[in-house]
Structure 1
Amino acid sequence: MKLSPALYSLMIMLFWVQPDTVSAEELSYLIIANQAEPFQINTSNHQASSGIISDVISLLATKKPFKIVPHVMPFKRYNHEIKAKTYTKWISYGSPAWRDNKQVLTQNKRLSKQALFSVNHSLVQLNSDRNTYSNVEDLFGKTVILLKGFSYPGLTTFIENGQIKKVEARSHQSALQALINKRGEVFIEMENRIRYAIKQHSIDQSPLKLTNATNITPSLNIHLSYGDSVSQDTINWIDDQIVIMKANAQLESIINRYQ
């Protein structure tokens, strides 16, 4: 069969279009040191990273030619580098709930349309403490232990007003130890982070009591977040992949690794 010139040209064009051979897009993966487990878990020498967010990004990189370049840093520097635009094409995680009233968005400016998962907060107190902390008003005049630099919707205003005092800890382990040492009445954090820290660091849970803190600081959705220079096409593609990962239970499988 003799091909027409137009059909022949179309076949040649299709032959040379090889989507899988395009050069890898480089993304700086921003990782918070020591405070983001089990979302981001890094080794002591920062040479490897695991955790829910890290595993999701690793899976995405198997489906599209991404070159993921990790950068591990303390949370204060993490925020500074994002504000300073040190990395123009970065990926990390965030939440709409962390966009504060002053609209200092930092890592929460550009979020994936699809949430990865939802998290609840828990309140930890000593079993010897007979007080009940059901609402934020129950914490007035008390000292709350929080992770250094992190935002806690529902608590921030009362802390700034001096109605609630705070002690800041650099890790979940040190926060739990501060509670055991009675440096504060309660420790408030995401439930999965607390339970991961207790298990990972073999902390004796017998003197501790965990209760739901939804009436104090609300549940929130965790999304992937992006720097200004990440293309919208890339973000849209990742959103599609998140839908697929939810449908085929890949995302659930990743989350369950760290329960």
Structure 2
Amino acid sequence: MHILKIASLILLFIATSSKAATEINYMVIQDQAQPFQNHQNKKHHTGIITDIVKEIFSSPEYELKIHTLPFNRMISMLEKGDIENWITFGSPNWPGVQSANLSKLPVFNVQHSLLTSTQQDFDINSAEDLFGKTVILLHGFNYPGLEEHIAEKRIKAISVKNYKSAFKVVNRLKDKAGFVEMDVRIKYNLKKEELATKDYNLHNFSKVIENYDLHLAMSPKFDKELQRHLEESLDKLYQTGNLEKIIEAY
């Protein structure tokens, strides 16, 4: 009986002294962010940003809760401030909540390209080279350097929901339109759709949309201790070369 009492006290001590895991809400853009955020039917999450976040919060003291949402709905939820300690990716070049609280270190440098059929072959030195032409854009995303001209109707725009649709429009319109997107995303999704890059022209678009850095983006009220852990872990990934290994895997 005495032994049972001691055992009960030990169990009670463990139960009361154990600390619940800190929850981090990781926000994933549905079907539009490969290879930064990949998933299959909102499950089996991988990707450059996803792997980095998983590595940073791999300790049992953290619980990474993944939310997979359409881009506009995700942004709306983040702006309302109803979700605590959320993390995703963003850039100082982007407006709104995805630039409000960024990691000190960048995780990727972005270059944009214009994907066209092989019937189009020209140098793009400025946005003016696209006047009177049509660009294909992913719905909901921001395109600095293009939006003003689209609003003034100097450049036409077709909005699509995913990469598969974008490639279909390029194939259908031939020399009349091109798909503007991050170079790494175009190449990754061409491979995913089993389309050969030799069947397309890929034009450097950096003179219209300048190259910029992507960072991990956190809620403006992200827990300070969590952010300290994130910054230190990200710096360690950079110093050890593991950040580059994650990127190279995709």
Relative to the length of structure 1, the TM-score reads 0.85
The SS at the match of 2:43 is coil
What's the C-alpha RMSD, in Å, of the aligned pairs? 1.6
The answer as to whether partners of 1:141 and 1:163 remain within 8 angstroms in 2 is yes
The SS at the match of 2:157 is strand
1:233 is aligned to: 225
1:137 counterpart = 2:122: no
Q: CA deviation at 1:217?
A: 0.6
1:102 is aligned to: none
Q: Choose which of 168, 178, 182 in structure 1 pairs with 2:169.
A: 178
Deviates more, 1:33-42 or 1:239-248: 239-248
1:29 counterpart = 2:26: yes
Alignment of 1:103-114 (within 5 A): 105-114=96-105
Q: CA deviation at 1:186?
A: 1.1
2:63 is aligned to: 67
- The whole-number CA distance in structure 2 between the counterparts of 1:25 and 1:242 is 18
Q: Deviations over 1:125-161 (max 9, x none)?
A: 1111244433211011111001111011111111122
CA distance 1:64–1:212, change in 2 (3 Å): farther
Q: CA deviation at 1:22?
A: 4.2
Count of aligned positions: 232
- The whole-number CA distance in structure 1 between the counterparts of 2:238 and 2:163 is 29
The answer as to whether partners of 2:23 and 2:65 remain within 8 angstroms in 1 is yes
The answer as to whether partners of 1:246 and 1:252 remain within 8 angstroms in 2 is yes
Q: Which runs of 5+ in 1 are unaligned?
A: 1-20, 100-104
1:255 is aligned to: 247
Q: Choose which of 182, 192, 196 in structure 1 pairs with 2:184.
A: 192
1:210 counterpart = 2:206: no
- The whole-number CA distance in structure 2 between the counterparts of 1:36 and 1:110 is 20
1:15 is aligned to: none
Q: CA deviation at 1:64?
A: 6.6
1:161 counterpart = 2:152: yes
Q: Deviations over 1:173-219 (max 9, x none)?
A: 21111111118511111010000001111013333101211001111
- Identity fraction in percent: 30
- The whole-number CA distance in structure 2 between the counterparts of 1:37 and 1:86 is 26
2:141 is aligned to: 150
Q: CA deviation at 1:107?
A: 2.1
1:89 is aligned to: 85
The answer as to whether partners of 1:88 and 1:228 remain within 8 angstroms in 2 is no
The SS at the match of 1:62 is coil
The answer as to whether partners of 1:118 and 1:220 remain within 8 angstroms in 2 is yes
Q: Deviations over 1:54-107 (max 9, x none)?
A: 1011111224721111110111111111112231221111000112xxxxx122
Deviates more, 1:49-58 or 1:64-73: 64-73
- The whole-number CA distance in structure 2 between the counterparts of 1:42 and 1:98 is 24
Q: Choose which of 230, 236, 242 in structure 1 pairs with 2:234.
A: 242
CA distance 1:64–1:136, change in 2 (3 Å): farther
- The whole-number CA distance in structure 2 between the counterparts of 1:187 and 1:125 is 7
Q: CA deviation at 1:53?
A: 0.7
The SS at the match of 2:120 is coil
The answer as to whether partners of 1:88 and 1:227 remain within 8 angstroms in 2 is yes
- The whole-number CA distance in structure 1 between the counterparts of 2:153 and 2:110 is 27
The answer as to whether partners of 1:38 and 1:51 remain within 8 angstroms in 2 is yes
Q: Deviations over 1:203-255 (max 9, x none)?
A: 13333101211001111111111113311232122112111101111111110
The SS at the match of 1:48 is strand
Deviates more, 1:116-125 or 1:32-41: 116-125
- The whole-number CA distance in structure 2 between the counterparts of 1:172 and 1:218 is 22
Q: Which runs of 5+ in 2 are unaligned?
A: 1-17
1:124 is aligned to: 115
